[in-house]
């Protein structure tokens, strides 16, 4: 290579390197001013640092000190990632709420701003709690680190809780769905009160009392308010009464006044079962949400059983498709949702493929509908029906190879779309004409494991069916020990988690097509008759709902099936990035979300074994949960739950006219930062991003 050639080669390499660097970082002019507050009062001489978070260790951009009024100003021209998430940490300082001039080293407050910070920011207990709960999966002390998508989702949800420019309430937490309908505001404000007690040194032992109450089950004793908040968010179920007790200790109820003298209201009157902060979202045509799925950007698609305004019951399925942004903002039309392409009466069948196309199984139109990522129908106006041959469609999945498989529960059909081509789909089998359909009975949901084997949950018989995706005729059946199976999830080790909505006490009803859905069975003419019979036979305990765990070879995992008060009616299962398992429940007027220890017990609290509940005895509650169907985990570790029914009396028989539209569940509920994040869209077994 001569000198001229080498020079050209070197210049080209340098240009390529510069291009690569510019693609991942940029020189930004970041300017943030604001105020640091504790208990609503200034914190003087506090050190405020601006950081940029990304997939690697965070980068310190600038630093400032607060003045006597707690005010600060930070300017930075340092390079940072184009997808970086900016955040502020305020440490130490003199709390003006007290007359002492001593520095309080236990002060550590956080404000996660996202990629584009507002001009003005208040850093206080509210911003700390909002930032910690939404970013729990990416925080380690003051270090914030994670995937670009996960950090973006987490930062985008902070404003749901707090107005970053005022340090006061955010819009969502105080809206009509959340403010007066759930305990989330009171949970949030109570947490802020106990943090403020330490930040302002309302008592000499306020910080040591907080740190004692916030010590983790692994013995981690926090040294500042940020570490305390992280422990509480990471272990919300652990001895919640200790932290609640601080409210009375730090702010005793006065004898001559009705209210405690706290900096933030409303506070709790009773200890919570866990320090969770769920929020509820609605709109976008959402009504009686069934299956949900995330696309590659973390947007949440939902299959709706019914539509807004209809007197929806199980005799009438006409719902459409809804879509929500990662922060819960509806992206589909407010009343109708996305329509067309045969979308009518979405079920527990929804898959998002690698192209971000959403595939919906339908009851109302007995079809499969497909939408692109913008909600444009890709399927024919009547949907994919195979000339009217399809019945009530249920589970549907996309596989890592690009194929799409679907089930029909009423006609016992298996449908296959090679490489996801809607024009090449075919019905593989129907009824008892051939395998694998001969092994099915009311097939409900399905999944694919790491060995390219498809597992099918049957809601009408007590076994699970497995066959190679390359040869559906080679079936194997495995006993489950329960009936009316619905949810199915596969962990990173290839183990299969299955939900059984009912136990062996319903053996005589195992032939029913589906729970509460167009029931056409001997002696059961309508849903009301079915539910009456169901309640009379459901005996609870080991004859109630259960969760079954099978090893990859189909044998029962030790201790399986799992029972308990947090599993009254298990419907769906979701595996998180730690291989722990989340279970929704179609039972109870206020809903219960269960969190179980998975097979990798090193990711569980000390002393727990596989199948043990991590969540409180009755599961996680709040946030406006109703009778749930699906549970899904996003790339920020948020757990999304769909409410399917809300008023049973409006779902059966002739309802009260004024309540006749209230069979359908209202909204979706999001529990923030509680699960190890997973890669989306979920195609195959769950895995970390």
Q: Is the pLDDT of residue 2 over 80?
A: no
Nearest to 345 by CA among 333, 360, 358, 331: 360
Return mean pLDDT, the chain: 90
Average pLDDT over residues 68-87: 94
The pLDDT score that the predictor gives to residue 125 is 98
CB 437 within 8 A of CB 452: no
Asked if residue 133 is part of any domain, the answer here is: no
The pLDDT score that the predictor gives to residue 25 is 55
Q: Band of the pLDDT at 73, cuts 50, 70, 90?
A: very high
The pLDDT score that the predictor gives to residue 506 is 40
Query: For residue 638, what is the DSSP state?
Result: -
Query: Which residue has tokens 């940490």?
Result: 89
- 566 is in which domain, residue-wise? 279-299+306-372+384-466+479-490+497-671
Query: For residue 252, what is the DSSP state?
Result: P
CA–CA dist 420, 645 (Å, integer):
32
Both 220 and 287 in a single domain? no
Q: Is the peptide bond before 266 cis (omega within 30 degrees of 0)?
A: yes
Per-position b or e across 348-360, b if 16+ CB within 10 A of its CB: bbbbbbeebbbbb
CA–CA dist 602, 614 (Å, integer):
13
Q: Is the pLDDT of residue 363 over 60?
A: yes
> How many C-beta neighbours within 10 Å does residue 391 have?
15
Average pLDDT over residues 118-139: 97
Nearest to 132 by CA among 92, 170, 87: 87
DSSP string, 458-477: ESSSSEEEEEETT-TT--EE
Summarised one tens digit per residue, pLDDT across range 211-251 is: 999 999 999 999 999 999 999 999 999 999 999 999 999 99
The pLDDT score that the predictor gives to residue 43 is 98
Both 240 and 293 in a single domain? no
Summarised one tens digit per residue, pLDDT across range 380-437 is: 999 999 999 999 999 999 999 999 999 999 999 999 999 999 999 999 999 998 999 9
CA–CA dist 653, 627 (Å, integer):
18
Both 236 and 289 in a single domain? no
Task: Give me the percent of the chain exceeding a pLDDT of 90.
Answer: 82
Counted domains in the chain: 2
What 3-state DSSP class applies to 244? helix
Both 635 and 503 in a single domain? yes
Asked if residue 101 is part of any domain, the answer here is: no
CA–CA dist 410, 71 (Å, integer):
66
Task: Give me the percent of the chain exceeding a pLDDT of 70.
Answer: 90
Asked if residue 264 is part of any domain, the answer here is: no
Asked if residue 17 is part of any domain, the answer here is: no
E strand segments, 418-517: 426-430, 443-448, 453-458, 463-468, 476-479, 483-490, 496-502
Asked if residue 442 is part of any domain, the answer here is: yes
Asked if residue 569 is part of any domain, the answer here is: yes
**Residue 34, CA distances (Å) to 213, 312, 447 in order:** 31, 50, 50
Average pLDDT over residues 99-113: 94
Q: Band of the pLDDT at 167, cuts 50, 70, 90?
A: very high
The pLDDT score that the predictor gives to residue 542 is 56
CA–CA dist 16, 21 (Å, integer):
9
Between 8 and 266, name the one with better pLDDT. 266
The pLDDT score that the predictor gives to residue 27 is 55
The pLDDT score that the predictor gives to residue 9 is 36
**Among 174-178, 180-184, 537-541, 609-613, the least confident range:** 537-541
The pLDDT score that the predictor gives to residue 654 is 82
| 134 alpha-carbon distance from chain centroid | 11
Both 609 and 522 in a single domain? yes
Both 412 and 509 in a single domain? yes
CA–CA dist 77, 641 (Å, integer):
42
Q: Band of the pLDDT at 653, cuts 50, 70, 90?
A: confident
Summarised one tens digit per residue, pLDDT across range 271-300 is: 999 999 999 999 999 999 999 999 999 999
Q: Is the peptide bond before 513 cis (omega within 30 degrees of 0)?
A: no
CA–CA dist 656, 206 (Å, integer):
53
The pLDDT score that the predictor gives to residue 543 is 53
Domain of 363: which CATH number? 2.130.10.10
Q: Is the pLDDT of residue 538 over 90?
A: no
Q: Is the pLDDT of residue 138 over 50?
A: yes
- Which phi and psi angles does 394 have, rounded to 5°? -130, -115
Both 228 and 291 in a single domain? no
The pLDDT score that the predictor gives to residue 26 is 58
- ∠613-619-620 over CA atoms, to 5°? 125
The pLDDT score that the predictor gives to residue 376 is 98
Both 331 and 207 in a single domain? no
Q: Is the pLDDT of residue 502 over 80?
A: no
**Lookup: tokens for 437:** 């359909």
Q: Is the pLDDT of residue 56 over 70?
A: yes
Between 516 and 243, name the one with better pLDDT. 243
Both 455 and 590 in a single domain? yes
Both 294 and 220 in a single domain? no
The pLDDT score that the predictor gives to residue 503 is 54
- 384 pairs with which residues across the strands? 368
Average pLDDT over residues 645-660: 86
Average pLDDT over residues 323-347: 98
CA–CA dist 76, 147 (Å, integer):
23
Asked if residue 606 is part of any domain, the answer here is: yes
Both 547 and 650 in a single domain? yes
- Cross-sheet strand order for the sheet of 85-91: 59-65, 47-53, 85-91, 108-114
CA–CA dist 660, 317 (Å, integer):
15
Average pLDDT over residues 489-496: 98
Summarised one tens digit per residue, pLDDT across range 583-610 is: 999 987 788 999 999 999 999 999 999 9
Q: Band of the pLDDT at 35, cuts 50, 70, 90?
A: very high
- Highest mean predicted confidence (pLDDT) among 21-35, 340-354, 641-655: 340-354
Average pLDDT over residues 464-491: 94
Summarised one tens digit per residue, pLDDT across range 6-31 is: 344 334 444 344 333 333 555 568 99
Both 549 and 653 in a single domain? yes
Asked if residue 366 is part of any domain, the answer here is: yes
**Residue 523, CA distances (Å) to 130, 214, 517, 530 in order:** 53, 56, 15, 9
């Amino acid at each position: 290579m001569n000198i001229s050639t080498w020079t050209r080669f070197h210049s080209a390499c340098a240009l390529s390197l510069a291009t690569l660097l510019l693609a991942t970082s940029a020189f930004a002019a970041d300017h943030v001013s604001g105020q640091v507050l504790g208990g609503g009062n200034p914190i003087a001489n506090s050190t405020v640092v601006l950081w940029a978070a990304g997939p690697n260790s965070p980068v310190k951009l600038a630093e400032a000190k607060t003045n006597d009024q707690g005010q600060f100003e930070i300017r930075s021209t340092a390079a940072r990632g184009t997808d970086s998430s900016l955040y502020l940490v305020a440490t130490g300082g003199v709390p003006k709420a007290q007359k002492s001039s001593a520095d309080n080293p236990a002060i550590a407050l956080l404000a996660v701003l996202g990629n584009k910070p507002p001009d003005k920011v208040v850093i206080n207990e509210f911003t700390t709690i909002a930032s910690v709960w939404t970013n729990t999966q990416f925080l380690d002390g003051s270090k914030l680190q994670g995937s670009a998508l996960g950090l973006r989702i987490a930062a985008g949800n902070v404003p749901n809780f707090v107005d970053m420019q005022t340090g006061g309430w955010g819009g969502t937490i105080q809206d009509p769905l959340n403010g007066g309908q759930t305990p989330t505001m009171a949970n949030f404000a109570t947490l802020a009160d106990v943090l403020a007690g330490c930040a302002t040194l309302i008592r000499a032992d306020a910080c040591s009392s907080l740190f004692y109450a916030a010590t983790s089950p692994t013995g981690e004793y926090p040294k500042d308010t940020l570490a305390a908040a992280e422990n509480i968010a990471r272990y919300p179920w652990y001895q919640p009464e200790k932290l609640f007790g601080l409210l009375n200790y730090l702010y005793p109820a006065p004898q001559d006044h009705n209210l405690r003298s706290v900096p933030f209201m409303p506070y709790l009157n009773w200890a919570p079962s866990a320090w969770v902060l769920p929020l509820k979202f609605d709109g976008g045509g959402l009504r009686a949400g069934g299956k949900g799925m995330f696309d590659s950007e973390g947007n949440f698609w939902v299959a709706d059983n019914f539509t807004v305004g209809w007197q929806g019951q199980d005799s009438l399925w006409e719902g459409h498709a809804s879509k929500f942004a990662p922060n819960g903002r509806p992206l589909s039309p407010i009343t109708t949702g996305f329509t067309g392409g045969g979308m009518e009466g979405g079920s527990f069948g929804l898959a998002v493929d690698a192209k971000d196309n959403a595939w919906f199984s339908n009851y109302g139109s007995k079809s499969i509908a497909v939408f692109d990522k913008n909600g444009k129908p890709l399927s024919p106006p009547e949907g994919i029906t195979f000339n009217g041959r399809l019945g009530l469609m249920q589970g549907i999945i996309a596989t890592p190879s690009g194929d799409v498989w679907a089930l029909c529960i009423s006609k016992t059909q298996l449908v296959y779309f090679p490489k996801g081509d809607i024009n090449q789909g075919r019905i593989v089998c129907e009824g008892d004409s051939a395998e694998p359909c001969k092994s099915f009975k009311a097939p409900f949901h399905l999944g694919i494991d790491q060995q390219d084997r498809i597992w099918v949950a049957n809601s009408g018989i007590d076994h699970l069916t497995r066959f190679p995706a390359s040869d559906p005729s080679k079936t194997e059946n495995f006993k489950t020990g329960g009936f009316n199976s619905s949810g199915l999830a596969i962990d990173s080790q290839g183990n299969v988690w299955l939900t059984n909505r009912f136990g062996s006490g319903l053996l005589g009803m195992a032939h029913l097509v589906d729970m509460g859905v167009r029931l056409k069975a001997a002696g059961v003419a309508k849903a009301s008759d079915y539910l009456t019979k169901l309640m009379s036979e459901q005996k609870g305990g080991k004859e109630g709902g259960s969760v079954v765990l099978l090893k990859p070879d189909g044998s029962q995992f030790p201790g399986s099936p799992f029972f308990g008060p947090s599993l009254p009616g298990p419907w769906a299962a979701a595996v998180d990035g730690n291989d722990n398992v989340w279970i929704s429940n179609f039972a109870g007027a206020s809903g219960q979300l269960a969190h179980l220890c998975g097979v990798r017990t090193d990711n569980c609290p000390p002393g727990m074994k596989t199948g043990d509940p991590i969540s409180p005895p009755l599961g996680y509650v709040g946030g406006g949960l109703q009778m749930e169907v699906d549970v899904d985990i996003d790339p920020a570790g948020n757990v999304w739950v769909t409410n399917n029914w809300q008023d049973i009396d409006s779902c059966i028989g002739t309802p009260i006219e004024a309540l006749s539209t209230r069979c359908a569940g209202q909204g979706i509920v999001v529990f923030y930062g509680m699960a190890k994040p997973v890669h989306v869209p979920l195609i195959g077994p769950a895995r970390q991003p």
